[in-house]
């Protein structure tokens, strides 16, 4: 089967902007989508001075991709309240969700919506837990699995970075299609807002 390797970070705004492109890949039964988290931010507080840059970047992302950033998120970025972003607990949540039967992309999208639309603090254990419950997972099972998986995100991210070096991936999001041991980087930035053309491009690569 043809694979698409998705190099991403849950706290990457451009990755949020690429959601519709990922949905098209996930819907294609001829493709296997593999997610590779990059570990961009390790439980880091975002300084007030940097937040205006974030808002400017987000406005550009929205303009180009059509993805919308919610009032809850924008108000949180504009506020004087602490804003901590963590790529690691969110990566562990995606790993754990897959083990418990939830598609990794579905967990990623749930985290992204909570962060970029609702403005929730997805660096917090209880917030992530609430998202898992929303997806139908048992709270106690989730808690045990997350505890058992402590540290697995670091291993997973280290493996992602090694694969990034091998495939010469330098940023997020990046989509690499693998077919018959040959890899090609998909030119996703040219297909924002062009769902039919994107699906046709993928089909052309597959066949």
- Overall domain count for the chain: 1
DSSP one-letter string for 151-164: THHHHHHHHHHHHH
Which band of pLDDT confidence, cut at 50, 70 and 90, is reported for residue 207? confident
**CATH at residue 70:** 3.40.30.10
Q: Report the pLDDT value the prediction gives residue 49, as an integer from 0 to 100.
A: 87
**Host domain of residue 65:** 2-206
Omega of the bond prior to 173 within 30 degrees of 0, cis? yes
Instruction: Count CB neighbours of 160 within 10 A.
Output: 21
pLDDT in tens, 148-192: 999 999 999 999 999 999 999 999 999 999 999 899 999 999 999
Inter-residue contact 79 to 85 (CB < 8 Å): no
pLDDT in tens, 69-114: 999 999 999 999 999 999 999 999 999 999 999 999 999 999 999 9
Report the predicted TM-score, pTM, of the whole model to 2 decimal places.
0.96
């Amino acid at each position: 089967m043809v694979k698409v390797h998705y190099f991403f970070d849950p706290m990457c705004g451009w990755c949020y902007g690429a959601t519709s492109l990922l949905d098209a890949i996930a819907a294609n039964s001829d493709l296997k989508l593999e997610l590779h988290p990059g570990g961009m931010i390790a439980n880091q507080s975002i300084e007030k001075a940097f937040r205006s840059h974030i808002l400017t970047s987000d406005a550009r992302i929205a303009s180009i991709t059509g993805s919308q950033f919610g009032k809850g998120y924008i108000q949180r970025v504009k506020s004087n309240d602490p804003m901590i972003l963590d790529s690691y607990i969110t990566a562990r949540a995606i790993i754990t969700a897959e083990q418990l039967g939830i598609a990794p992309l579905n967990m990623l999208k749930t985290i992204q919506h909570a962060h970029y639309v609702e403005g929730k603090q997805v660096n917090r254990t209880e917030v992530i837990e609430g998202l898992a419950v929303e997806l139908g997972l048992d709270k106690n099972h989730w808690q045990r699995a997350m505890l058992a998986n402590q540290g697995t995100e670091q291993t997973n991210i280290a493996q992602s970075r090694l694969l990034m070096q091998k495939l010469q991936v330098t940023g997020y999001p990046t989509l690499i299609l693998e077919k018959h041991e040959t890899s090609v980087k998909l030119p996703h930035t040219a297909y924002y807002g062009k769902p039919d053309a994107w699906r046709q491009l993928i089909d052309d690569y597959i066949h």
